[in-house]
Amino acid sequence: MRRALTLAVSPGVPLHPNPRVGCVLLAPDGSVVGEGYHRGAGTPHAEVEALGVAGDRARGATAVVTLEPCNHTGRTGPCAQALIAAGVARVVIAQRDPNPRAAGGMETLRDAGIETDAGLLADEAAEVNRAWSFAHRNGRPFVTWKFATTLDGRSAAGDGTSRWVSSRPARRDTHLLRGLCDAMLVGTNTVEVDDPQLTVRDDADRPLPRDAQPLRVVMGERDLSADRRVLDDVAPTVHLRTHDPAAALRALYADHDRHHVFLEGGPTLAAAFLQAGLVDEVVTYVAPMLLGAGRSAVGKLGIRTIADALHLELVDTTVVGEGTEANVRMIMRPTRQGPTMGGTA
């Protein structure tokens, strides 16, 4: 199974919209007769690729796969049926498929008389597709809120200027994190005031090709000026005319097949998501500077006493850059919700 997990995370495999999956086929004597991994939407699934390598040697073999073989026909046929047709004798599964449209492969295999087991290294397998698994379990995308701040918690100076609170290395690091998501979300006010392009850019500050860009999402009922950069043709954009974070996330999951949202809006939008209990991860870049006044990194949360504070668990701390360009990147996740906070519905 560890070999299958290694195959699943092979370099160059897209993180979305499909899950990353690895498969190893073992002969009755334990020797490997086939391996495969899913390389992206429209390509053969891991099981089919491994079966193609094995050929007739797949008959009587054990298939070790990181995700339950799919049970539906999409761009490709159902993997459960491919395993049955190949004469596989046993299938060992790490993670059951949380996607209701594709689940049920394990039962199909069992009905065909194939021995099946599930749960081996299930947590590790779920982590390979963390956001995808979360989205299908919860019916909404995983939300990462990213912001930059000074030591005294300011995201902009008193006159509104915010370029640049974070350092150049931190901004480059942000583009790497953007590339791990399939949607970037801001509010209409951020678009009108800051006019961001909201793209993933390379080391030379050039946008990646359109098909490599996350969906740009603008949330709010206000009309956008036609000259805003977020409306250019460098990346796709959708305008969700709502102020309700839960409704926006439901639409992104159900209508746009998005699994991981990178929340980059201002303090008001961040507060709305936090109050709704819809922030699953926080990434902050702390710059070694003081402003003393200016815009706070987050708006009002309805918290009146320290006992009701929203607590975060520190997951990782990294210094990005050196000298005066150094920022501290902290990755955190909420550990409990305060009295006005919701759950992960």
CA distance 89 to 94: 17
Residue 138 tokens, joined? 């919860």
CA distance 79 to 85: 10
**Is 47 a catalytic site residue?**
yes
Phi, psi of 12 (to 5 degrees): 90, -5
CA distance 139 to 220: 21
Say whether 59 sits in a helix, a strand or coil: coil
DSSP H/E element including 146: strand 142-150
As a whole number of Å, the end-to-end CA separation of the chain is 32
CA distance 52 to 321: 46
- Of the listed 35, 47, 68, 264, which one is catalytic? 47
CB 68 within 8 A of CB 114: no
DSSP string over 254-274: HTT---EEEE---HHHHHHHH
Phi, psi of 42 (to 5 degrees): 90, -10
Helices first, then strands: H and E counts in the chain? 10, 15
Catalytically annotated residues? 47
